[in-house]
Structure 1
């Protein structure tokens, strides 16, 4: 049986193109294309078939991706959702992850990577970009004991909405010291961005959010 996909995106041409791409994959099919979060709320409340994976645009009129993700967290927290975005907005993506989003897709993603994203969410529950795919292959056996207490404290703060400057103030440390913690964690967790660090921490239950 094919895995089902529901697309929520107000750009009709992009959404239809995405639908065609999904339907070209042997194991996936799009069951519905909606224009905004309110249409999704109406769809779910009407008890229509819920998808295996929801592809959710972030910037939409009427009800955007942030508001939709908040609604999903309250009513359908088990729904696997991938965010769609035109740009890598770190702050927004981290907020989406905190509300239960399983990863994000840039709209210029290559078809092969897009298929990998669907398969990752379907199997492991999360999608990680190529920058941290390699380390995820053996993450289950990774020992996190080499993270110091202060590094763990920093990681918890990094998985919040605080800026690095606010984290420095919270921990009573200089911005330079915070930069050192960040670079140390990037190296130890083998990630290249704050979003990658947050996704990794959430996926491996290092940090509860």
Structure 2
């Protein structure tokens, strides 16, 4: 029923990588397409592969070409491939940097298998998945970054409907869920999403979320409860 999710793993720790392969191959709708032991091997593979993966699980600390640099290259050359940072580093600076260079999600290696599978499913369905911690880091770090991003020049830059769609994308609703909430067809939602990508010069859905936070279309409330 669900579409096959094609995954590439990039991690220089072979034991950890093989453990992930074992775990992922047990899922009926997931196929591990390739394993790379460093970023350069991953980039070389993408240049020659016939079918691109849907998702790359990317370690940060790897020899020859690290995960941050590999993510920059892949995000620029293959924007339709979603990258999930999978790392032991859980500091705000690492999270902010990976999201800024194009990661669609950020997962720490001490996450549970169920958290990892849920993240893969969300990214496959929606193009990104940011948990509450990551959203707050984006809000705190990326909004204040001196990044050259196109801003809204006037109130008519985005239509009211486009803003509604963008807000629901930021709340991590899928296309069918947005269509149901706004009483429009999924195809219309896709049309609005494509217009948003063009207008905001975002390369993917994850970029729309960052754009919305930078331009205060969406804010993260600091609830301590």
Q: TM bucket by the smaller chain?
A: 0.5 to 0.7
The corresponding residue for 2:141 is 158
User: 2 CA distance for matches of 1:66 and 1:201?
Assistant: 17
Shift of 1:103: 1.0
User: 2 CA distance for matches of 1:162 and 1:88?
Assistant: 20
User: 2 CA distance for matches of 1:206 and 1:161?
Assistant: 13
TM-score by length of 1: 0.65
Of 201, 209, 217, the residue aligned with 1:203 is 209
Shift of 1:74: 2.0
User: 1 CA distance for matches of 2:15 and 2:90?
Assistant: 21
User: 2 CA distance for matches of 1:51 and 1:200?
Assistant: 18
Instruction: Please state whether the residue corresponding to 1:206 is helix, strand or coil.
Output: helix
Number of residue pairs the alignment of both structures matches: 154
The corresponding residue for 1:17 is 19
Q: How large is the Cα RMSD of the aligned pairs?
A: 3.1
The corresponding residue for 1:33 is 35
The corresponding residue for 2:118 is 116
User: 1 CA distance for matches of 2:104 and 2:93?
Assistant: 15
Gaps of 5+ in 2: 147-169, 172-204, 216-225
User: 2 CA distance for matches of 1:89 and 1:162?
Assistant: 17
TM-score by length of 2: 0.60
Shift of 1:202: 4.9
